[in-house]
Chain A
C-alpha cells in the first residue's frame, strides 16, 4: 500500500505538460458531472414537496426529466473515469513489465482515480453552489424556486459524491483488466473489434416491446399514464440504443471504407477508419446527441400537446401547468446540451492527446493541419448524423402509439424537432471547433 501510494504520488507530481492536460480533462469532466447531477437531483426534489391534485403529475414529470438527464450524465462520468484510466495505461504497463505485483497496480489505479474524481467532484460542488441561485430564479407551480430548493443538502450531496467517486474507481478497475492480464496488450492494437449483429436484433425487439407497452398504455388516456409510458419507453430504448449504437456505427463506417470513388479523400478514409477502429469510443462521443434527439421529439410533441390543451379552453390551473411544462422542457434541453458539449469537448481533448503519435505521423508525411482537423471532425460528425436521425426516428416510433400522428406531424412539433436536432448538431460542432487549438498545439509540439 505504501509503495503504491508513493508511486502514485510520484507520477502525479512528475507529470509533463501534456500529461497535466490529460490529468485536467477527467477532473473537468467529473466537475461538470457533479455540478449538473447535484443540480438536477436538487431541482427534482422540489417537485416532491408540492401538494395538491397536480402533485403526482409534477412528480412523474420530474422523474422523467431526471431519467432523461442522469443517463448521459452517468455516461459522461464513465468517460471521465476511462480518461483517467487511459492516462495510466502506459505507466502501469511499464510497471507491470518491471514486475510490479497486481496488488500494487490495482491500488495505484484506485488511488489515482479516486484522487482525480474527488478533485473533480469538489469543484463540481462549487459549480452546484454557483448554479443554484441562477436556477432559483425560475418559476414553477406559481412560485419562484429559490436557491434553497435547488441545493441538495449535505447528506444528499455527500451520498452523491461517494456514488460518483465509487463509480470512477470501479470503471478504472474494469479498464485495468488489460494491464493486469497482458502488460504488452494495452498499447498493441491488432484487429478492429467487431460488434455482433445480435445487437440489431435486440434493438428491434426492444422497440417492438416499447411500442406494444405504449399501445397498451394508450387504452387509459390519462396524462399520468402517458408520462409513465414515455419514461418506460425512453429508459428501455436508451438502454438498447447504447447496445446497438456502436454496432450500427461500425457497419456504416465499414461501408464508407469499402465505398470506392473519386470523393474518397484521405480525410474520409481516416475518419471512417477511426470509427471502425473503436466503434464504442465513437458512440460514446455522440451518444449524448441520442438523448437530445430523443428529447427533441418528446419536446416537439409536448409543445404541440400543450398548445392543443390551451386551445381547448383552459383554467388558470391548466395555464400554470402548461407554463411549467414549457419551462421544464426548456431546462431539460439546456442541461442536456451542456452535457453533450462537455462530453464531446472532454472526449475530443483526450483523443487528441492520446493520438499524439498519429498526428505527428500525419504531419511528417505532409498532411496539413486543416486536413487532420477535418478528418477528426468527420470522425465525429459522420456518426453524429446517424445517431441524431436514428434516435429521433426511434423516439417517433415510440411516441406514435401514445400521441397519434396528428400531434407528431403538427407543424409546431416538426419545427421544434428540426430546430432541436440542428441545435444538437451545432453544439457538437462548436465543441469540436473548441478543441482545434489543442490539435494545433500538439502538432506544433511534435
Chain B
C-alpha cells in the first residue's frame, strides 16, 4: 500500500527497505507526510514501526528506497546523506520525543531544552531564553533548574517535547511518547505535543501502541511485517 496526502508533502518515502541480517524490518514502504499533519504509525511489536521512524528521521540508513524532505532550501534526500549530514539534518530540521525522553541526566531541564540550539552554535543567552519560553509554553515554569531525575514522568516528557520544538523543526518524530505514562498524563503530553507541532504548522510522526494517541492524529498508518497494510484518516480530524 502507498500512503499519500492531498496537501504538498513535507516528507516523502518511496519504497524504503531495511533488513537486519535475515530479518526484514521494512519491505518497501512508501508514504507522504503533509505540512502541519499528524500521522500515527501503529502495528504489533516487530512490525517495523521504529525502523520506519528511524529511516525517515535519518537515524539509520535504509538499504533501498528514497526519503526526501522538502526543506526551506529545496528538496533534500535524507537517505543519501552521510553521518555528518544526517546529524545536521536532525539538528536543524527535526525534533524528537522518545518513550524515555532520553534527556541528559547531568543537565538541568533548561539546559536539556537549550542543547539543540547550543549544538547549532546559538549564543547561550539566546538559547536559554528560547528554552525558557518553551518550558513556560508547556507549563513547566519553575522547573528550569531541575534535573531529569527530579521530574515526574509527565514533566520529563514535556521537557522532551519542549526540546523537540526549540529549534523550530519541520517535522517532529515521537516514538511511544506516552508509553511509560498513566492515561491522564498521556493525554496532557499528547495535547502538548499536538499543540506545539501541528498547531504551529509543523508535522508530527508518532509511533504508538496507544489507540487514544492514534485517535487524535490526522491519519493512522498500520504496519505489519514491514509494510503499510492499512491507512485511515480520522473523520473528526479531517473535518
Query: Which A residues form the contact surface with B (CB < 8 A)?
Result: 188-192, 260-262, 264-266, 269-270, 273-274, 276-277, 357-358, 360-369, 371
Residue among B104, B121, B149 facing the most chain A CB atoms (10 A cut-off):
B104
- CB-based contact A364/B96 at 8 Å: yes
Answer whether A368 and B105 are a contact pair too, CB < 8 Å, given A188-B149, A191-B150, A264-B124. Answer: no
Partner of B87, one of A264, A361, A368: A368
Most buried by A among B90, B96, B119: B119
Q: A276 — which chain B residues lie within 8 A by C-beta?
A: 106
Contacts of A364 in B (CB 8 A): 59, 90, 96, 98, 102
Q: Which residues of B contact A (CB under 8 A)?
A: 59, 83-84, 87-92, 94, 96, 98, 100, 102-107, 111, 115-116, 118-119, 121, 123-125, 147, 149-150, 163
Contact among B116, B125, B150 for A366, CB-based, below 8 A: B116
Partner of A269, one of B59, B88, B111: B111
Once the chains bind, are A192 and B91 in contact (CB under 8 Å)? no
Kindly provide the distance from the CB of B49 to the nearest chain A CB, expressed in whole angstroms: 16
Give Cα distance in the complex from A274 to B150, angstroms: 17
Q: Is the CB of A368 within 8 A of B118?
A: no
B199 → A minimal CB distance (Å): 22
CB A437 to nearest CB in B, in angstroms, measures 15
Instruction: Please tell me if the beta carbons of B149 and A361 are within 8 angstroms of each other in the complex.
Output: no
User: When A261-B124, A262-B123 are in contact, do A361 and B84 touch as well, CB less than 8 Å?
Assistant: no
Interface centre among B100, B102, B106, B116 (most CB of A within 10 A): B106
Minimum Cβ distance to chain B for residue A33 (Å): 29
Interface contact B59-A358, CB-CB below 8 Å: no
Q: Knowing A273-B107, A274-B106 touch, does A192 contact B147 (C-beta < 8 A)?
A: yes
Residues of A within 8 A of B105 (CB): 189, 277, 358
Q: Indicate if the CB atoms of A366 and B149 lie closer than 8 Å.
A: no
Contacts A190-B147, A264-B124 given; indicate if A366 touches B104 (C-beta within 8 A).
no
Whether the Cβ atoms of B119 and A367 lie closer than 8 Å is yes
Determine the chain A residues whose CB is within 8 A of the CB of B149 once the complex forms: 188-191
Q: Please measure, in the bound complex, the distance between the C-alpha atom of A277 and the C-alpha atom of B59, giving whole angstroms.
A: 28
Q: In the bound complex, do residue A269 and residue B107 qualify as a contact, i.e. CB atoms below 8 Å apart?
A: yes
Given A260-B124, A265-B118, A358-B105: A365 and B90 interface contact (C-beta under 8 Å): yes
Please tell me if the beta carbons of B106 and A191 are within 8 angstroms of each other in the complex.
no
A264-B124, A360-B102 as given contacts; A367 in contact with B147, CB under 8 Å: no
- Contacts A192-B147, A261-B124, A269-B118 supplied; 13 other A-B pairs, CB < 8 Å: A189-B149, A190-B149, A262-B123, A264-B118, A266-B115, A277-B105, A364-B96, A364-B98, A364-B102, A365-B91, A365-B116, A366-B119, A367-B91
A-chain residues with CB within 8 Å of residue B84 when the two chains form the complex:
368
Q: Which residues of A are found within 8 Å of B91, using beta-carbon distances?
A: 365-367
Are B87 and A367 in contact, CB atoms less than 8 angstroms apart?
Answer: yes
- Report the separation of the CA atoms of residues A365 and B96 in the bound assembly, to the nearest whole angstrom: 7
Distance in Å: Cβ of B48 to nearest Cβ of chain A: 18
Interchain CB contact under 8 A, B118 and A266: yes
8 closest cross-chain pairs (CB), A and B: A366-B91, A366-B90, A361-B102, A266-B118, A273-B106, A190-B149, A277-B106, A264-B124
Q: List 25 A-B contacts (CB under 8 A).
A: A189-B105, A189-B147, A189-B149, A191-B147, A192-B147, A264-B118, A266-B115, A269-B111, A269-B115, A269-B118, A270-B104, A273-B104, A357-B100, A357-B102, A360-B102, A364-B98, A364-B102, A365-B91, A365-B115, A366-B91, A366-B92, A366-B94, A366-B116, A369-B87, A371-B119
What residues of B have a CB within 8 angstroms of the CB of A265 in the complex? 118, 121
Find chain A residues with CB under 8 A from B104 CB. 270, 273, 358, 361-362
A191 to B145 alpha-carbon distance, docked (Å): 11
Which residues of chain A come closer than 8 Å to B115, judged between CB atoms? 266, 269, 365
Q: Is the CB of B87 within 8 A of A366?
A: yes
CB contacts (< 8 Å) of B163 on chain A: these are 365
Bound together, the chains give a CA A234 to CA B92 distance in angstroms of: 53
CB pair A270–B106 under 8 Å, yes or no, is yes
Shortest Cβ distance from B124 into A: residue: A264
